Amino acid sequence: MYDMNDAELPRNSELIPDGSFAKVSMAIRPGNVDGQGEHDRGLLKGPKTPGSDALMLDCEFTVMAGPHARRKFWQNFTVAGGKVDEHGVSIGWKISKGTFRAMIDSALGLNSEDMSEATKAKRMLRGLSDLDGISFVAKIKVEPPTDPRYSASNRLDRVVLATEPEWQKIMNGETVPAQPSQTSARAAAKPAPATTAPAWGTPSAAPATAARPAWERPAAAAAAPTASPPAASPSAGPSWLNG
């Protein structure tokens, strides 16, 4: 016999509103491809598109506090391969690297213009696996689907830096009104492509965000909003894991 009275009802499927600000924790969902170095063994996921050589970091974001606490969204970041620039460097990796640096600056309350040796040391990683568990302030967007069979989904719009007023408010536990991006608004206004088959004749595809890892990771401890932790040696792990 199963007693269902104490079961938690399913959460609604509504998305986090476009342009919402929140503190989030990022967990890396390991793949089956080795990254660079011993710390990143089995960390990356291979390409899904035939002929592509792009390697991805599969990340799960959990809202840590506020009206959308415990809500999750997912995003992949290219860390190798794909299109390259004139110097042969992966364009996707350059974008991801900039985002990862912003995560560190937001997590530790660093001024992004601070290039002192002590601050630069805090941005050193033993491997991309060191980003697992990092918490920072994010602006979240709603991304319309490129395929009409799928639903819209939440994505990371951008990392909010310590020099922005929204960062301090979120770190103080305040609620910041959503600021929808113009890009998202224009994309949402575009009409969906017409389909010839009726809705009941096309199998419904699960949204890309439906996947869940087999385990849940505890949220990382919040970074102090005003004071940065002392610099950590790369061999000792990142500052956000050392308190």
Q: What is the pLDDT of residues 193-211, one digit of tens each?
A: 444 444 444 444 444 444 4
- Name the least confident of 44-53, 65-74, 150-159, 196-205: 196-205
- How many whole angstroms separate alpha carbon 158 and alpha carbon 18? 12
- How many whole angstroms separate alpha carbon 98 and alpha carbon 123? 11
| Residue at 176: amino acid letter | V
Q: How confident is the model at residue 217 (pLDDT cuts 50, 70, 90)?
A: very low
Global pTM value: 0.74
Question: How many other C-beta atoms lie within 10 A of the C-beta of residue 135?
Answer: 21
Q: Which residues have a Cβ under 8 Å from the Cβ of 57 and sit 6 or more positions away?
A: 28, 43, 44, 45, 76, 77, 79, 96, 128, 131
- Look at residue 218 in the predicted model and tell me its pLDDT: 43
For residue 216, pLDDT over 90 is answered with no
Q: What is the pLDDT of residues 65-115, one digit of tens each?
A: 999 999 999 999 999 999 999 999 999 999 999 999 999 999 999 999 999
- Look at residue 23 in the predicted model and tell me its pLDDT: 98
- How many whole angstroms separate alpha carbon 223 and alpha carbon 172? 11
